[in-house]
Chain A
Amino acid sequence: MTDLHDQIYPYVVGALPAPEAAQFERHLADCEDCRADVAALRQVAAELSNRVAAEPPPRLRSAVLAAIEDLPQEPTYSSGGRRLRMLPEQQQSPAVTPMARATGQRSSRSWSWMPALVAAAAVLAALGFGGWAWQDRQSAQQEALQASQRTSQLTDLLSAEDVKVVTGQVTVSKGSGTVVLSPSRNEAVLVASGLPELPSGHVYQAWTINKHPVPAGTFSLDGARSLVELPAAALRSQSVAITVEPTGGSDKPTTHPIFTVSIPRSI
Chain B
Amino acid sequence: MSRIAAGDQAAFAQVYDATSKGVFGIVLSVLRDHAQAEEVAQEVYVEAWRSARRFDPALGSPAAWLNTIAHRKAVDRVRSAERRTTRERRDADSRLNHHAEDTAETVVAADEGRRVRDALSQLSEAQRTALQLAYFEGHSYREVAEYLEEPLGTVKTRIRDALLRLRVDLGGEVPS
Residues of A within 8 A of B (CB): 6, 9-10, 12-17, 35-36, 38-57, 60-61, 63-65, 67-69, 71-77, 98-101, 103, 105, 264-265, 267
Contacts and interface: CB of A to CB of B under 8 A. Distances in A.
A242 B79 CA distance: 34
A161 B148 CA distance: 29
B22 A39 contact: no
B21 A76 contact: no
B126 interface: no
Nearest to B112: A50
Contacts of A75: 53
Contacts of B60: 38-40, 42-43, 46
A14 B173 contact: no
A236 to B, nearest CB: 11
Nearest 9 Cβ contacts at the A-B interface: A56-B24, A46-B67, A54-B106, A42-B64, A49-B26, A15-B134, A42-B60, A53-B25, A50-B112
B38 A57 contact: yes
Given A14-B135, A56-B38, A103-B56, A73 B50 contact: yes
Given A54-B28, A60-B20, A73 B5 contact: yes
Interface string B36-67: 00100110011101111111101111011111
B122 interface: no
Contacts of B22: 46, 49-50, 53
Interface in B1-26: 5, 7, 9, 12-13, 16-17, 20-26
Contact of B9 (A41, A44, A68, A267): A68
Given A16-B141, A40-B174, A50-B113, A99 B156 contact: no
B115 interface: yes
Given A53-B24, A56-B24, A264-B51, 4 more contacts: A9-B156, A45-B68, A60-B38, A65-B12
Contacts of B42: 60, 63-64, 67
B166 A48 contact: yes
A17 to B, nearest CB: 5
Contacts of A57: 38
A225 B28 CA distance: 48
A267 B47 contact: yes
Contact of A15 (B16, B107, B144, B166): B144
Given A15-B159, A64-B42, A99 B56 contact: yes
A17 B142 contact: yes
A194 B108 CA distance: 58
A9 B117 contact: no
Most chain B beta carbons < 10 A, residue from A35, A43, A51: A51
27 contacts: A13-B71, A14-B71, A14-B138, A16-B141, A39-B175, A40-B60, A41-B167, A44-B163, A45-B68, A46-B68, A50-B21, A50-B25, A50-B115, A50-B116, A52-B26, A52-B28, A53-B108, A53-B112, A64-B46, A71-B50, A74-B53, A76-B54, A77-B54, A103-B53, A105-B53, A265-B51, A267-B47
Contact of A52 (B52, B103, B140): B103
B164 to A, nearest CB: 8
B143 to A, nearest CB: 8
A71 B46 contact: yes
